Amino acid sequence: MAEPRPSTDEESAPLLNHDRRNERDQGFLHALAHPSRPLTNLEKTLGGGAIVLLLIMSTFIGLFAGAETSLKREKAKHGIDHGGEGGWSTATETKTEYSTSTTTISAVPTGKPSANVCLTAECVTLAANILNRINASVDPCDDFYEFASGGWFASNSIPADKGIYGTFEQVRDNNKAIVAKAIEAIPAKLSSVAASADESNLHKLKTVYDSCLDVDKLDEVGLKPLLGLADFILETIGPFDLIPAPEEDLIDESNEWRGTYTDDYEIPEHLAVDVTHPVGKRRVSPSHIDSPEQPMYLQAAENLVKSERTPKITKALSYLASRGKSLLPKPAMCVDALLDFAIEGDGAGPDPQVQALYLSQVYGGLPSKEYYEEKPILDLYHSVIKGILIDIASHTHASQTPRDLVDELEAFINDEVKAESKGWPWPWPGDDDGDKGGDKDKTPGGGGSKDLPLDERMDRLAAKVLHFERQLIRAGTDPERLSNPHYSYNFYKTARVNRAISFLDLPTFLSSFAPRSYPELITVTYPPYLAAASRIVDATPDYVLSAYFVTRLALGYASALGPKVGVHAELRRLQEALRGIKKGTEENREDVCLAVVDSTLGFIAGREYVKEAFSAEAKEDGENIIHSIVKAFNDRLPHIAWMDKTSSEAAQKKASAILPKVGYPTLPDTMNPASLAGWYARLEIEKGDHFGNVLRSTMVEEGRTWASLGKARDRRTFEKYMPPQIVNAYYSPPDGEIVFPAGILQPPFYSHSWPSYLKYGAFGAVAAHELTHAFDNVGSQYDDKGRLSEWWTNSTVDAFNERAQCIARLYSTYYVRDANGTKVYVNGNLTNGEDIADWGLAQAYSAWKNSLNATSSSPLVLPGLDFTEDQLFFLAFAHIWAGLIRPATAVSRVRTDPHSPNFWRATGTLRNFDAFTEAFQCKKGDKMHPPPSKERCELW
């Protein structure tokens, strides 16, 4: 394995690696720290004076930065009211003025400053950065979020083409800059037939990036690449631009989107139907193969009859599914239609590592159900669909994408997984008649014409597509219910699922992917959706289905087209509205293309990133921090009053069994060029073919996923979209692992040279967050083997649920404001798991304290900071959640994101942590120390 090189990134290098032996002039401070000869009296005098001046300078830099912050013009347009019930609200308006006078705050450091002051360049820079981030004019017991990061808020702004910008985005930008620098250094002379695996990988990397950057060529090619895919749908389902005359139209959507959004808006009762059948109320056994089959719960779903058009709908769905979930970061939409298939670990099976098939409800072009009830958004979405259909209808059959390319891509899925395939048994087990049900054509409508102008026809058609999509969305359940495995884990024999869907021939659909193992069972996350979707599809004519499929395809791949292409422009118009971005704002193309690199050749780019920005010492240190947090959690478990001994011992066993992974995977081996070349061997990258590169990459990954069905997952891997440079981390319940890519072990989350209180306050909080996920409202349902089972006693489960619901109720009192100032409340049930995990900060704090007891050395003290170590621990925690956000983006995230808004991730956690209130001496009744009757819960 090649040794990672020190970072060459100018901004982060001092905090990442303090050993810079290759510098020509290492400076006076280095001479003091590493003298090659005894210092003269003059040098000692000058050195002492320099140190004093350095301390004074660093202090005044911080004070000056605070004053500068106070005089800055109004903040970037990030301000939204953050509040809760009972007057516990904190306002950060879009126009905030700071007092220039020095304010005496209630929280002051305690004890004498340590004599162990660190005077290295790294420590001085770090201290100055902390001083620059804070807003000392704010009382930390009143608004700790503003106190900790007010300076950062004032000195940063949201990029024009983004809806959010915070610490995570800042680190992502730094990481992307490292990757971009590596790509730019790749010689142009490299070819695809390079002599070494490393050179071949780098050629692919540069080709993907350069092809994406060439927007002039993309705009010149126009819509043609997408038409090559859309033509398949039109040939299979039929044209969508031949619609009945108004008097012949059987679909009436005249009563559509009459809903409005107000501050007391609630999801209509018919959209949040309480499931009365046994779904979600039963407990499952890990050995489910021998369990009696569960009923489908809806009699209508038991004997649905296939129609004459089932084969062509099946063919269209197979085609779309093979194009997978679009890899593009914008708009992060999928090409799924009608149904959504996924392959994941089978948590309730005999071996959770074995990959099983899941069938779920579909999602649409709007982020959540609420948007489908808001007339302004629906009007916009209708016009976007109309624009897409007009663009495609105007160019239909003008594609220059060779049909042999489509055929080749279609064949790839089979080639990827047929090597050891045993084929599909027929008839399917449990299907005695081979699914020879009667055929009854329920297709309404008849022929059509082009008598009306195209604009008018597509306007009417777009309304029908939106009507159809809105019905499908309404038929699904809410995301917080799907996150509960005991609600969403409903397994059935595959033949029975096939009988429950009128429009899909499931055996034919699955055989088109040729999985090597026969899926005897399928997990249906919300069974009622199957019958509802069948009724909706059966009542919808072909031309509407065709338009719907084409629209889903277009939204999924629009970002792979040139920015000036009509379909891409329509998508961007929708994104701008949903994120609150100024109309017509041009995206940062380099940023877009680096994201494409991450999703197509992420692990090759990851190798270049690791070489520059991640050391072996950082990997080992990160692992040690994680292990210490696991130990602190295990030490805590026997002392939790609401948990009995049996459950506590089981929880300790699970915590000890969790596998931490730090940095990068070993499959593919990120530091081995030959391993990377093998991983991407089937992916053909062509110069100047950005759309084709994205499409082929998507299909390669889709083929790889389907090939895993029925096989045990290789634990050397990371999640496929989690290469080393990504700023993220995750916990996987069936796999029993917590994963931390190298990208998140960067400032302000981590630096190897930092004092322990900053490491644990920032990265330690992330590590504890992922560990605590194993014991949140979802993770707590999986045992030490990753199996969905009853491994706690009933009394412990009841006590846990009571406390978890306290947190859910608490976070449901928090809100953001939309662009009109209307409150939009957090859904505490949706965010419950993430909120519980955020409270894992207590384990990071305990682990840090334990680390102090385990060493005899004095803690490192940063110069010029009038804070205790405990206070700096909490400042480091708050810093990672600093962020600016546009109101529209804030609303979108509240509705869809299982994470609470950043303000509440910091504030909500600390308000319930006694160590914080003690560190800053907050009095009961202060906003950061509310009375127990107001906002206090306790869990781990």
Confidence band for 395, pLDDT divided at 50, 70 and 90:
confident
Question: How does DSSP assign 118-166, residue by residue?
Answer: --SHHHHHHHHHHHHH--TTS-TTT-HHHHHHHHHHHH----TT-SEEE
pLDDT at 655 over 50: yes
- Looking at the predicted structure, is the pLDDT value of residue 410 above 90? no
**What pLDDT shows up at residue 416?**
53
pLDDT digit string (tens) for 573-617? 999 999 999 999 999 999 999 999 999 999 999 999 999 999 999
Positive or negative, the CA dihedral 599, 600, 603, 604 is: negative
Statement: residue 443 has pLDDT above 60? no
Domains of the chain, CATH where assigned: 121-178+615-665+717-935 (3.40.390.10), 215-397+405-433+442-587 (1.10.1380)
What pLDDT was estimated at residue 116? 79
Closest CA to 879 of 109, 66, 154, 133: 133
Are residues 142 and 73 in contact, defined by beta-carbon separation less than 8 angstroms?
no
Instruction: Supply the pLDDT for residue 251.
Output: 56
Per-residue confidence (pLDDT) for residue 715, from 0 to 100: 93
Active site residue 247: no
- The CA distance from 570 to 121, in Å, is 50
3 state SS of 49: helix
Which pLDDT score is estimated for 5?
32
Q: Which residues of 100-125 are buried (b: 16+ CB within 10 A; e: fewer)?
A: eeeeebebebeeeeeeebbbbbbbbe
- Please pick, among 480, 770, 776, 834, the residue that the annotation labels catalytic: 770
**Three-class DSSP category at 441:** coil
* pLDDT, tens digit (0-9, with 9 covering 90-100), for 659-703: 999 999 999 999 999 999 999 999 999 999 999 999 999 999 989
Dihedral sign of CA atoms 203, 208, 212, 213 in order: negative
- The residues, any chain, with a CB within 8 Å of residue 181's CB and separated by 6 or more, are 8, 9, 612
pLDDT score for 210? 98
**Cβ(545)–Cβ(237) under 8 Å?**
yes
Please give the full DSSP string across 890-928, using - where no structure is assigned: HHHHHHH-SSPPHHHHHHHHHTT-HHHHHHTTPPBTBTT
Model's pTM, two decimal places? Answer: 0.83
For residue 41, what pLDDT is reported? 55
Q: For residue 355, give both structure tokens.
A: 């990959």
Other CB atoms closer than 10 Å to residue 64's CB: what's the count?
12
Q: What is the mean pLDDT of the chain?
A: 81
Q: What are the structure tokens assigned to 36, written together?
A: 């090659």
- In degrees and rounded to multiples of 5, residue 788 shows phi and psi of -75, 110
pLDDT higher than threshold 60 for residue 397: no
For residue 660, give the H/E element and its range.
Answer: strand 659-663
* Lowest mean pLDDT segment, chosen from 245-254, 382-391, 478-487: 245-254
* Banded model confidence at residue 109, pLDDT cuts 50, 70, 90: very low
Lowest mean pLDDT among 22-36, 139-153, 411-425, 462-476: 22-36
- Confidence check: pLDDT of 96 > 50: no
Given a contact cutoff of 8 angstroms between Cβ atoms, the answer to whether 3 and 614 are in contact is no
Residue 208: how many CA atoms within 13 Å on its side-chain side?
A: 32
pLDDT digits (tens, 9 = 90+) for 137-153: 999 999 999 999 999 99
- Provide mean pLDDT across the span 475-497: 93
Q: Report pLDDT for 451.
A: 72
Q: What's the confidence (pLDDT) of residue 289?
A: 34
The predicted-structure confidence for 174-224, as pLDDT tens digits, reads as follows: 999 999 999 999 998 887 676 799 999 999 999 999 999 999 999 999 999
Work out the burial of residue 522: count CB atoms within 10 Å of its CB; fewer than 13 is exposed, 13-18 middle, 19 or more buried. Answer: buried
pLDDT at 496 over 50: yes
At residue 853, the pLDDT reads: 87
Reference 689, options 402, 472, 487; nearest CA is 402
Taking CA atoms, 620 is separated from 321, 573, 727, in Å, by: 41, 46, 18
Concerning whether 802 is annotated as a catalytic residue, the answer is no
Q: How confident is the model at residue 936 (pLDDT cuts 50, 70, 90)?
A: confident
Q: Choose, from 621, 838, 870, 935, the residue flagged as catalytic.
A: 838
Per-residue pLDDT band for 325 (boundaries 50, 70, 90) equals low
Rounded CA-CA distance 764/805 in Å is 26
